[in-house]
Amino acid sequence: MGSKNSTATKRADALRSIEAIVQAAAECLGQNPEASLSEIARAAGVGRVTLYAHFSSRAEVVDAAMSRALDQGNEVLDTIDLTGDPRLALARYIDAGWHLVDQARALLVAAQRELSAGRIRDLHAGPAARVEELVARGRAEGVFRTDLPIAWMVNVLHAVMHSAAEEIRAGRLASEHAADHITATVLAAFTAPGEPVPATGGERPPR
């Protein structure tokens, strides 16, 4: 009986340590993508030995922190209304999704340095699937172009969002203007050739 209790206690302690490390990694890397494992361990209140007992490399720590951020982001995106006019739904997605990218842009820099492009794509699979469905519906309803692959269009959206994060870091774009800039750019890219690009903003669906 005592052995079982001891094992359960050790398991609970390990889970608490892992949670503390991942939380600290998200916070430290979110402020500085070059934050060291020593800084992360210190912020988590554990030693480097404990950190390495759960994560064998910096890449694993970054992966766990990025996974956590994306899981939390997906919970937010699940609340976004993507029904109705696909263009307005896209604007709502960008407004919510942009803030998530803005909050995690330093963490993304760390991920791009430590993780493969394929792994980053896998981590973004949830948000990508959500946009793929929206783009497919927009194409079916005749408001988005059909001459380009859906996967390419989704990649363009995320590339523009990530570029906006870089522009903010460089001081060339104010964060409060990012969602409008992204929406205007993406709607222009998604509009079929020869069709008028819808105006952004306002409550009425663009015509």
Integer Cα distance of 162 and 118 in angstroms: 17
pLDDT at 94: 93
Give 1's pLDDT tier (boundaries 50, 70, 90). Answer: low
Q: Where are the alpha helices (DSSP H) in 104-206?
A: 105-114, 117-123, 125-140, 150-169, 175-190
Is the pLDDT at 206 greater than 80? The verdict is no
Contact between 111 and 120 (Cβ < 8 Å): yes
Spatial neighbors of 90 by CB under 8 A, at least 6 apart, are 134, 138, 183, 186, 187, 190
pLDDT at 100: 81
Is the pLDDT at 109 greater than 50? The verdict is yes
The type of residue at 33 is P
DSSP 38-107: HHHHHHHT--HHHHHHH-SSHHHHHHHHHHHHHHHHHHHHTTS---SSHHHHHHHHHHHHHHHHHHTHHH
Is the pLDDT at 114 greater than 60? The verdict is yes
